[in-house]
Amino acid sequence: MNWMERVKRNVFPVSNEKYNIRKALDEWEYEGSMYDVEIAEEICELCDQPNIRYQFEIVNVFNNNTLLIGSECITRFKISVIDQSGKKMSFEEAKKKVKKDKSRLVTEAKEKSVLNTLVALAAKDNEFNIENFIKYYKERKAFTPNQLALLIWRLERARIDFKKSHFKLTIKRNREKEQLLRLEDWKLNRIWDCLSNSQKQFIIENKPRSPF
């Protein structure tokens, strides 16, 4: 069965229109409801694509049926996207909103994984002062250079499974920039994969005798 046949099989039973697929798809709207199911094992209820983690809910305006679909399908099938005032967005605006909503879910998921990692570390490492780190992270969604170097060291020592790229560095304040440039090379190596490209560039341009 090709993908359009799958879409028809999924959409006609829950739409008022039963013959014209474009008309049937036009009965549906995305109003901003989206969910992170945390494990990528859902199926797109529109096209049957597997391994969906971020589900976007579309609603049928005539019968209130709902379908949970992948964000790409909203754009691919030109599903109407409704803004906060209830107005239908243009295709270009809609595309942007869907992309932004998806990236918000992804960011929130990464933040949650960081907090879970801190909790896992606290369970293994009695000397780790988790409250300070959690408080700081919730406020700034990132860590200072010294915090990060200490954190990554403790995580590796405790053999906690974690993703370095989820742990972000902040150097918005001058003292944080200075702190970063003062880090020993071995500490810098340890946090290198946490850095953004512009932060790496900042080090390359400003750190005397950079090892990179």
Q: Which residues bind Zn ion (CB under 5 A)?
A: 44, 46-47, 49, 70, 73
Q: Residue 54 CB, nearest distance to Zn ion (Å)?
A: 12
Point out the residue whose Cβ comes nearest to Zn ion: 44
Q: Is the Cβ of residue 34 or residue 134 nearer to Zn ion in the bound state?
A: 34
Q: How far is the CB of 49 from Zn ion (least distance, A)?
A: 5
The DSSP result for the chain, as a single string, is --HHHHHHHHHGGGSS--S-HHHHHTTEEEEEEEEE-SSS-B--TTT--S-B-EEEEEEETTT--EEEE-HHHHHHTT-EEB-TTSPBPPHHHHHHHHHHHHHHHHHHHHHHHHHHHHHHHHHH-TT--HHHHHHHHHHHSSB-HHHHHHHHHHHHHTT----GGGS-B---SHHHHHHHHHS-HHHHHHHGGGS-HHHHHHHHHHSTT---
Nearer to Zn ion, 70 or 145 (CB): 70
For Zn ion, the closer of residues 43 and 115 by Cβ is 43
Closest to Zn ion by CB, 105 vs 181, is 105
Rounded least distance, CB 84 to Zn ion, Å:
25
The residue type at 61: V
Nearer to Zn ion, 46 or 81 (CB): 46
Shortest CB 6 distance to Zn ion, Å: 9
Q: To the nearest whole angstrom, how small is the minimum distance from the Cβ of residue 81 to Zn ion?
A: 15
CA pair distance 133, 130, nearest whole angstrom: 5
